[in-house]
Structure 1
Amino acid sequence: MGSNLHLSGQEVLLEELRTTVEKSSEYDQVKIRKIEDLRKELQRTNKSNLVDRYRLNFELFQEYKVFNQDSAYSYGLNTRDLATQLDSLPLITAAVINLADVSVSAGMYKETLDLLETVDPDKIPANQRSLYYGLRGRVYSEMAEYSNLNYYSSQYNELASQFRQKALELTEEGTFFHSFLRAFIKYNRGDTPQALIDFKSLLDAPLLPREKALVHYMLGDIYDKRGEKEEAIVHFTMASLLDVKTSTKETLAIIRLSELLFETDRLKEASFFIQKANEDASFYGAQHRKIQVGAILPLIEEKVISRVEQQRRRLYIQNIIVSFLLLLATVLAVVIYLQVRRLKSARRSLMTAHHDLQTVNQQMQLVNKEIQSKNQQLKKVNDQLLEANKIKEEYIGFFFSRDADLFEKFREFKSRIEKDLKSEDLEKVKFRVKHYDLKKEKEKLLQNFDEAFIRLFPKFIEEFNSLLKEEEQIKLKKGQILNKELRIFALIRLGISHNEIIAQILGYSVNSIYAYKTKIRKRSILHKKEFDQKLIENTTLRF
């Protein structure tokens, strides 16, 4: 029960992230407007006023720091030049550290080390020394991650550990940086349980959005390493939410989230979020993030295309089954027709015998009654066959038409992909795959199903509601033809009664189908066992 509630909360978080990503441009516009205001203020500031110009360039750097690497670096250079003109060692040091911070975020490790080498750590002001050593630790940690040789990666990790320890010793206790770094060092040294406790306790403190995002990312990383993927997804989602809302483009959280969703076979969400990660990496200009995105993006898109192909094959098989059922119905109709002819012939013989054999009149009357009973049964069967033929005629036409549309779309899609591949234009291939809207195709298929069904059963909704209590009757929203519950019972009216088949057609889980059916039957004026049969008997087909 607790696990289900957790998964439900996770789905709510993922849906919130999807909604937030869809309106990410609104958050970006807030940042852009703030940047524009700072730029205008900088333009109005007298060039001789070096202090104010340094402050404004520094603020612009801070705004661009996790938003756009190229612009951040440009304003970082400006702050360094102005700090040099002001001949202020603290300001020069801060500017160099900022430039190095942007460089490591962009994956330029050599450039970061070159910048840090220009600073003498013994001459750095005390309040900046922890940032200096913390940054050196981050550079060597990331270099170790990307090194293919264990010889170098072990050296880099050792240097990273030493510099982080120095940074921790220089930070003030009680600050976020001190608490975060202490927990991070414990995690790197293998004390995962204590690191987990420390990071969780940080969430209880008043944190800035970026600080909170970093804590959630670390919690996601810890849970992922422990194999608790569902818990890791929750924290990576929280980190990604905060990143989008703060217009943070230099982020790893949404990439890690996409990887976990791919591993847990949630391709739709994985594809959507990895596209956002790709856009952010390109916008920020971080080459190492582009490489990380490029490692998983083709795998996700390949699996998405594979699923589309499976659905196409499934539709093809369904069409074959429908064709077979039509053939079977035709054979049955011929057999019944021959039987009817035989019965008519028998009736004529009996009538002749009635005139010739008055003595067996009573027996003949009994025979006539029996024949009439047979005729009524045959008429009922014939009506059912006519109804089945009408349904199959409509839906076979519908499925062949839809299959033809799908085949044409896939043929055109395949032709364009082959053309782009021949011209080696991978960007176009990615663009076409990204913009192929499977959800829209599914919705269109269901819309066509609804329209075809209502053409066959124009009074279905009214007749369906007549089986429900007055206060429980279904009222459709504007623009709806059928809703989920009506669509399920529409399939039952067509003769499809197995939950597995209904779930497969509509794209729901078997449990969801069972739940919908149970809910409707509870709202009925009939006993739940009689509902389906009464539905079939009470709904009339348009001939």
Structure 2
Amino acid sequence: MKKHFFLLCYITLGLLPVQAHVPEMDSLLKRLDTVIKERPLAIEKKKSRLRELELRYSHSLSEEERFLHLGRLLEEYRSFNADSSLALTQKRLRLAQSLKCREYLDNARMNLAEVMGIAGMYKEALEQMDKVCLDSLPGYLRTYYFHNLRTLYGWMADYVILPEEKIRYRKLMKIYTDSLLERRLMEHDTLFYIMNRCQHYNQSGRYDEAIRLIKPYLEVGDMHYKGIAAYTLSESYGQKGDTEHETKYLAMSAISDMQTPVLEYAALPRLAVRLFHKGDVERAYTYLKLCMEDAVSCNARLRILEILKIFPIVNEVYQLQIQKRQRQMGWALASISLLSFFLVLAVIYVRRQMKRTEQARREVEEANNRLKELNEELHCSNNMLKEANRSIAENSRLKEAYIGRYMDQCSLYIEKIDEYRRQLGKLAAAGNVQDLYKSLKSSKFIDKELQDFYAGFDDTFLQLFPTFVDDFNALLMPEEHIIPKQGERMNTELRIFALIRLGITDSVKIAHFLRYSVTTIYNYRTRVRNKAAGSREELEKRVADIGKMDS
């Protein structure tokens, strides 16, 4: 905490030393910013390609063709949408069971285990791997088998809390890495083999050997594999302690991820952290915000947890920088006003001095015209500045309230989860397996937490906008007013439009927040628009203006 405090002070006062990027690094970061701006088009192309593949799947004739086509679909969805990937693997497993082909069945189970691992479902992933018969696997699936187990135990080692468990998982990861390399299951000139060899070198402290091995692969293969090679290279430099080269190759990997495009990635969050430590707070904040949006869209739980570790600190520093800019804008406004005052005095003086001649009158007229133009520009600038200050003040008020509530709620959830863990531990220690299973199977804990979460959201929102319910009902026909049930502060319809007031207008995000389907959210919004006292199309825009401060 003390370290973070001093870091905030240094950045706020402009004392943090910012290392000058080499021209190549600046060029890479500018390229990355450009690619991020162009990314929506790449995502649309990706979605179009997915729709085309799904259409081909629907035209597949035999079950075997469908099985193979699902594999191609899974390859496209793997780093783009975790939920869709999980659904595809389950569908592929059902097809393999109906085909009664052992090779297909083992392949589908390993697909399912891989996706479960990405989603953080380690126990379930290992259960699927236990069902695979290693002795009966063909060569290409044996590679996949050892790769899956090595990756799973690597993730488990990264996120486990107990030190002895971390050591055990790392040993298992090394065993499966050695199995991949020593058994010569892979072709030695493939990027997959080279990556595994590099990770083996990194674990052994042989960083220079890993760097020499992976560098040639930056020049070959498609964009996705170049990004993987660049990320592997950044890991070697990072473990070696060369942060400049680590940052460079993280930027190259992030560019590839944005162009591919994928929504589940590791390079951009690590790059944001590196830039934050170098003092480039604005870029770090922008990148982390994009990472969080992508992780939520992809439902990549592991990435969300990673980003949540650093995002509150970056956000706090970013807000301090905004406050500093506000103060600078205030001084600028005062300076402009003072300069305007002196300009008026100067014009008056010139007019008095030049009244005697016709030339003087013409110069005074020209000065007056120029002064009018300057005053108009100043008036426009003042209006723009007032509007900007109003927006910044309102956004700061909302962010401060929700960041405070977010930090309190995270702390409370950690305590509740720890308490729940201790209760389960007591049941396990007592050998009461049946009660332990019932507790794990029950959804009461989640339901209660959701209820408390929505109640907390209602309280926070109504503290910020105490007259929201009355103001919202004023936009509806009198007979269509929405009244929450007794004991509730807001119901689902009010929460939907509360989120719209906060700037969240995407039905997908609203559905994810309220745990409803997108169709349900769309129906709620349509039903309420039909109750509008005025124009239905203007209702949501008027809701977004509720409680805004006067300019």
Q: Distance in 1 between matches of 2:58 and 2:340?
A: 78
The structure 2 residue matched to 1:245, chosen from 233, 237, 259, is 259
CA shift, 1:244, in A, is 2.0
- Equivalent pair of 1:73/1:102 in contact (CA under 8 Å): yes
- Equivalent pair of 1:130/1:168 in contact (CA under 8 Å): no
CA shift, 1:281, in A, is 0.9
- Name 1:126's counterpart in structure 2: 139
- Give 1:144-183 correspondences, 5 Å limit: 144-169=157-182, 170-183=185-198
- CA deviation vs aligned residue, 1:488-513 (integer Å, no higher than 9, x gap): xxxxxxxxxxxxxxxxxxxxxxxxxx
- CA deviation vs aligned residue, 1:22-57 (integer Å, no higher than 9, x gap): 2223222222222222222322334xx221121122
Worse-superposed segment, 246-255 or 317-326 = 317-326
- Equivalent pair of 1:316/1:403 in contact (CA under 8 Å): no
- Name 1:229's counterpart in structure 2: 243
Q: Distance in 2 between matches of 1:291 and 1:269?
A: 20
CA shift, 1:268, in A, is 2.6
- Name 2:441's counterpart in structure 1: none
The structure 2 residue matched to 1:310, chosen from 324, 343, 352, is 324
CA shift, 1:143, in A, is 0.9
CA shift, 1:184, in A, is 1.2
The structure 2 residue matched to 1:184, chosen from 181, 199, 202, is 199
TM-score normalised by structure 1 residue count: 0.62
Q: 1:398 to 1:185 in 2, by over 3 A?
A: same
Q: Secondary structure at the match of 2:22?
A: helix
Q: Could you tell me which amino acid in structure 1 is paired with residue 82 of structure 2?
A: Q
- Give 1:464-483 correspondences, 5 Å limit: none
Q: Distance in 2 between matches of 1:83 and 1:24?
A: 36
Q: Distance in 1 between matches of 2:131 and 2:205?
A: 34
- Name 2:63's counterpart in structure 1: 50
The yes-or-no answer on 1:73 pairing with 2:55 is no
Q: Could you tell me which amino acid in structure 2 is paired with residue 276 of structure 1?
A: L
5+ residue gaps, structure 1: 341-378, 434-543
- Name 2:102's counterpart in structure 1: 89
- Name 2:125's counterpart in structure 1: 112
Q: Could you tell me which amino acid in structure 2 is paired with residue 232 of structure 1?
A: E
- Equivalent pair of 2:224/2:260 in contact (CA under 8 Å): yes
The yes-or-no answer on 1:26 pairing with 2:8 is no
Q: 1:79 to 1:22 in 2, by over 3 A?
A: same
The yes-or-no answer on 1:211 pairing with 2:193 is no
CA shift, 1:16, in A, is 2.0
- Name 1:290's counterpart in structure 2: 304
Q: 1:130 to 1:317 in 2, by over 3 A?
A: same
Q: 1:396 to 1:36 in 2, by over 3 A?
A: closer
- Equivalent pair of 2:153/2:173 in contact (CA under 8 Å): yes
The structure 2 residue matched to 1:10, chosen from 25, 40, 44, is 25
- Name 1:200's counterpart in structure 2: 215
- Name 2:357's counterpart in structure 1: none
Q: 1:323 to 1:240 in 2, by over 3 A?
A: closer
Q: Could you tell me which amino acid in structure 2 is paired with residue 79 of structure 1?
A: R
CA shift, 1:325, in A, is 7.5
- CA deviation vs aligned residue, 1:361-414 (integer Å, no higher than 9, x gap): xxxxxxxxxxxxxxxxxx9xxx9xx99x979x9598787666544443333334
Q: Which has the larger radius of gyration?
A: 1
- Equivalent pair of 1:417/1:429 in contact (CA under 8 Å): no
CA shift, 1:318, in A, is 4.3
Q: 1:319 to 1:207 in 2, by over 3 A?
A: closer
CA shift, 1:221, in A, is 2.2
The yes-or-no answer on 1:270 pairing with 2:284 is yes
Q: Distance in 1 between matches of 2:190 and 2:33?
A: 33
Q: 1:321 to 1:211 in 2, by over 3 A?
A: closer
Q: Distance in 2 between matches of 1:89 and 1:95?
A: 10
Q: Could you tell me which amino acid in structure 1 is paired with residue 391 of structure 2?
A: K
- Equivalent pair of 1:105/1:250 in contact (CA under 8 Å): no
Q: 1:66 to 1:416 in 2, by over 3 A?
A: closer
Q: Could you tell me which amino acid in structure 2 is paired with residue 73 of structure 1?
A: L
Q: Could you tell me which amino acid in structure 2 is paired with residue 178 of structure 1?
A: Y
5+ residue gaps, structure 2: 1-18, 353-359, 406-456, 465-497, 505-551
- Name 2:155's counterpart in structure 1: 142
- Equivalent pair of 2:202/2:239 in contact (CA under 8 Å): no
CA shift, 1:324, in A, is 7.1
Q: 1:190 to 1:81 in 2, by over 3 A?
A: same
- Give 1:317-336 correspondences, 5 Å limit: 317-320=331-334
The structure 1 residue matched to 2:315, chosen from 301, 312, 315, is 301
Q: 1:396 to 1:35 in 2, by over 3 A?
A: closer
- CA deviation vs aligned residue, 1:402-457 (integer Å, no higher than 9, x gap): 65444433333344446766844699699769xxxxxxxxxxxxxxxxxxxxxxxx
The count of corresponding residues between Structure 1 and Structure 2 is: 385
- Name 1:490's counterpart in structure 2: none
The structure 1 residue matched to 2:271, chosen from 254, 257, 267, is 257
- CA deviation vs aligned residue, 1:255-303 (integer Å, no higher than 9, x gap): 1111112222222322222222112211221111111122222322222
- Name 2:391's counterpart in structure 1: 409
- CA deviation vs aligned residue, 1:293-339 (integer Å, no higher than 9, x gap): 222223222222211111111233445566778899999999x9xxx
Q: 1:403 to 1:245 in 2, by over 3 A?
A: closer
Q: Distance in 1 between matches of 2:396 and 2:40?
A: 32
Identity %: 22
Q: 1:316 to 1:219 in 2, by over 3 A?
A: same
Q: 1:178 to 1:414 in 2, by over 3 A?
A: closer
TM-score normalised by structure 2 residue count: 0.61
Q: 1:323 to 1:160 in 2, by over 3 A?
A: same
- CA deviation vs aligned residue, 1:44-84 (integer Å, no higher than 9, x gap): 334xx221121122221222112111111222122222222
Q: 1:326 to 1:248 in 2, by over 3 A?
A: closer
Q: Secondary structure at the match of 2:285?
A: helix
